[in-house]
Amino acid sequence: MLAILQKAGRTGLGFLQRPLARAFGPVESPFNHLGALTIFFCWIILISGIWLLIFFRTSVSGAFESVEYLTREQWYLGGIMRSLHRYASDGAILTIFLHIFNEFSFDTYRGKRWFSWITGMPLVWMVFALGITGYWLVWDELAQYVAITSAELLDRIPIFTGSMAANFLTDAALSDRFFTLMAFLHLIGLPIFLVFGIWLHVFRLSRASINPPRRLMAGTLLALLVLSLIFPAESQDKADMGLAMQSLELDWFYLHAYPLAQKWSPGLVWLLLVGISALIVIAPWLPRQKTRQAATVNLDFCNGCQRCADDCPYSAIQMSPRSDGLKYDTEAVVIPELCVSCGICVGACPTASPFRSKSPLVPGIDLQDLPAAAIRESMLAAASSLNGDKRILSFACRGSSACDELKNAGEAFVEVECMGQIPPSFIDFCLSRSFADGVFLAACSASGCHYRLGTEWTGKRISRERDPRLRKRIDDRRIAAAWCDFPQHAGRVIDQINAFRKSLPEPLYAAREVAA
Amino acid sequence: MTRILGQAMAFGLFVTILGVFSVWPDYRLLDEREAIVSLTFSHAAQRVGECRRLTQEELNALPPNMRKPDECPRERHEIYVEMHLDDRLVYSERALPSGLWKDGKGDIYRRMTIDAGDYALFVGMNDSGSGDGFDYVGRQDVTLSPGQNLVVTFDDLQKAFVIE
């Protein structure tokens, strides 16, 4: 059931992701930066909010007029700031839900990654609370509706005595102090908790993407500015407690649940919202992901170079003072509770070299379930089955659609946990020893990398931007990569391999004997 | 050039979604000929038992800061409220007193959608626990205009319903 839902999710996302990746490139595609885009929206909200605050008056009579002044008389700045404030807030909701859906569809929320998932849930509630209190402050008819409905919802919580909603039925019942309270919540209280929540959310991630690429930021800001000029945010009529609202322009991003409070009842709305939130929070254990053994350090081969710690996407490796008396200063120590067994550390380890002939292939850090030696064995076995003039050896991420496709097509390939598990020396080994004429990497896209950074690190290692780098003797034309994480990619890998085969330079006419 | 066009289209689609769903579709709360009648108040009902005057001996036995002349049971009755429009019952509710000792106020809050027009409004409350009748009543002929919010409350000082 879960697999079907996730596949359907990936299919849906694929329709968005593929054209976006084509337009923005695989690295700068907005789908790679949904979390960071949300934080960028928060920056826009903060800066525009500071401008609005300067002119905002926290009183029953002053709130509406001050916002109207900003919108009408100071439209060229205050009006644009207000529009940016609203549209960036709406944008944040959109990116948040895409972010959640993306993580669910790619199954990157279970197992040892539960922490980031469940700490995201309070953030969603806080963002909604911020948006709702923001609409409250404008004190137009929408604010009146938001105030009454929010109060009716809060009245349903049994910890409150008296009816809060009764305060919004007559003008006399409302006081200026109420606006001071709402302004405090909207401007100080909730934002402080939000910042703390964001810190907690990315606490267990190494190199968490906080800022999107500059071009993406510039484009997003420009797009919001254009929207603000063409379609500026405006207030509805001033709140009047003597009148009942008949029709409203609702911001459906924030207020989609509010009509349900009238259609059903506040209690049922709470049940729905809390139920959905609870389901999301326990989702990492529905069902529990099989845990694999954490990576282990082989101290005899660890020289304390720190590359594994630098490359680990989950901060699961720490460098500690040497404990075995060898001449190196530090040694890698794996924190099993954080290790997701992706093998990216193995790909970073300079001792994970398949060229070793006199000693067994035991790198400084290795996976128990799929050690480097086993990958070398698979690689040699796959290479031995290659024939023809332009032999291509493929590597595929475990669980990707490419594995099934390559298997069905009878292509020789090596299955790895993550493409980041392949040290560049393995590619060097294949090509320089002429086990193959080309190496094809059927990897996840950078945004869909199951282990966050595997695809990115692999790309940088092969392009010689990051240690361990691919040796310069390797002709780049003999390496190709394809994305295989979306169901839409199914059926395309073989075509891409064939296209790669055609584009290969002359075959490597060297010994084809596979070393034992 | 194609990529820039693609990016422009992506941003365009994104802001179109934002612009459209931040105000559309309209949400209709009331039909054009409807109004709202809101009944809301908090009221401490009568106590379940009579207060008893303490004797001087009993007062002397108490610490000086706790010498109150009367001893009253804490618990209060529930509130029962009915509202009628043209003799048609439109709302009835029982509200328990708040608090662990059931000694606080009972809360009534209800917003009702009513067709606009002329009505004879009646509201009654029983807070004494007696089986029949109302301890407080309010009557008024009202004209509800479309989109009006008529608020009915209970003034605890005047011990009377206020219809405004």
CA dihedral A222, A223, A225, A230 (to 10 degrees): 140
Q: Which of B98, B108, B148 sits opposite A243 (nearest CB)?
A: B148
pTM above 0.90, yes or no: no
Quick check: A400 pLDDT over 80? no
What does the block give as tokens for A38? Answer: 């949300």
Whole-number Å distance between alpha carbons of A59 and A77: 23
Whole-number Å distance between alpha carbons of B68 and A503: 100
Averaged pLDDT, B73-88: 94
Which run of H or of E encompasses A78? none
Q: Which range among A201-205, A220-224, A441-445 shows the weakest confidence by mean pLDDT?
A: A441-445
Cβ A223–B149 below 8 Å, yes or no?
A: no
Nearest to A86 by CA among A217, A218, A224: A224
Residues A255, A335: one domain?
no
Q: Which range among A13-22, A468-477, B129-138 shows the weakest confidence by mean pLDDT?
A: A13-22
- What count of other Cβ atoms lies within 10 Å of the Cβ of residue A284? 19
Residues A261, A346: one domain?
no
Residues A277, A308: one domain?
no
In this prediction, residue A515 has a pLDDT band, given cuts at 50, 70 and 90, of very low
Q: Which residue type sits at A281?
A: V
Averaged pLDDT, A391-408: 86
pLDDT of residue A446: 66
What does the block give as tokens for B89? Answer: 């019952």
Quick check: A19 and B3 in contact, CB under 8 A?
Answer: no
Chain A nearest C-alpha distance from B88 (Å): 23
pLDDT of residue A188: 92
* pLDDT tens sequence across A52-93: 999 999 888 899 999 999 999 999 999 999 999 999 999 999
Residue span of the structural domain in which B19 resides? 2-163
Residues A365, A450: one domain?
yes
Range 102-141 of A in CB contact (< 8 A) with B: none
Quick check: A126 pLDDT over 80? yes
In this prediction, residue A161 has a pLDDT band, given cuts at 50, 70 and 90, of confident
* pLDDT tens sequence across A300-346: 999 999 999 999 999 999 999 999 989 999 999 999 999 999 999 99
Chain B nearest C-alpha distance from A312 (Å): 32
Whole-number Å distance between alpha carbons of A393 and B41: 78
Residues A458, A494: one domain?
yes
Residues A345, A378: one domain?
yes
Which run of H or of E encompasses B88? strand B88-95
Averaged pLDDT, A361-386: 94
Residues A59, A168: one domain?
yes
Whole-number Å distance between alpha carbons of A341 and A136: 47
CB proximity B100 to A under 8 Å: no
Cβ A250–B29 below 8 Å, yes or no?
A: no
pLDDT of residue A443: 83
Structural domains in chain A (count):
2
Find all residues with CB under 8 Å of A46, minimum gap 6, and list them.
A191
In this prediction, residue A513 has a pLDDT band, given cuts at 50, 70 and 90, of very low
Quick check: A406 and A396 in contact, CB under 8 A?
Answer: yes
Whole-number Å distance between alpha carbons of A485 and A397: 9
Quick check: A445 pLDDT over 80? no
Residue span of the structural domain in which A219 resides? 2-238+248-282
* pLDDT tens sequence across A453-493: 998 899 899 999 999 999 999 999 999 887 765 555 556 78
Expressed in angstroms, the distance from the first to the final Cα of chain B is: 66
Whole-number Å distance between alpha carbons of A214 and A95: 17
Question: In the predicted model, what is the mean pLDDT of chain A?
Answer: 90
Find all residues with CB under 8 Å of A339, minimum gap 6, and list them.
A112, A294, A295, A314, A316, A317
Structural domains in chain B (count):
1
Range 66-95 of B in CB contact (< 8 A) with A: none
Q: Is residue A287 part of a domain?
A: no
List CB contacts (< 8 A) between B149 and chain A: 169, 241-244
The CA–CA distances, whole Å, from A52 to A11, A77, A132, A190, A192 equal 42, 10, 16, 17, 19
Averaged pLDDT, A207-216: 90
pLDDT of residue A398: 85
Residue A18 burial (CB < 10 Å; 0-12/13-18/19+)? middle
List CB contacts (< 8 A) between A162 and chain B: 42, 98, 105, 107
- State how beta strands B34-43 and B26-28 pair: unpaired
- State how beta strands B106-115 and B117-126 pair: unpaired
Q: Is residue A69 part of a domain?
A: yes
Reported ipTM: 0.88
Q: Is residue A268 part of a domain?
A: yes
Question: In the predicted model, what is the mean pLDDT of chain B?
Answer: 93
Quick check: A423 pLDDT over 90? yes
Quick one: closest CA in B to A234, which residue? B23
Whole-number Å distance between alpha carbons of A227 and A250: 18
Residues A225, A328: one domain?
no
Quick check: A371 pLDDT over 60? yes
Share of chain A above pLDDT 90, in %: 66
CATH of residue A252's domain is 1.20.810.10
Eight-state DSSP code of residue B30? S
Cis bond leading into A122, ω under 30°? Answer: no
Ranges A351-360, A425-434, B125-134, most confident: A425-434
Ranges A20-24, A324-328, B34-38, B50-54, most confident: B34-38
- What count of other Cβ atoms lies within 10 Å of the Cβ of residue A329? 11
Residues A190, A41: one domain?
yes
Quick check: B104 pLDDT over 80? yes
Chain A nearest C-alpha distance from B11 (Å): 6
Quick check: A214 pLDDT over 50? yes
Residues A98, A59: one domain?
yes
Residues A15, A40: one domain?
yes
Q: Is residue A289 part of a domain?
A: no
Q: Is residue A243 part of a domain?
A: no
CA dihedral B15, B19, B25, B31 (to 10 degrees): 170
Share of chain A above pLDDT 70, in %: 95
3-state DSSP call for residue A90?
helix
CB proximity A247 to B under 8 Å: yes
Q: Is residue A104 part of a domain?
A: yes
Share of chain B above pLDDT 70, in %: 100
Residues A263, A412: one domain?
no
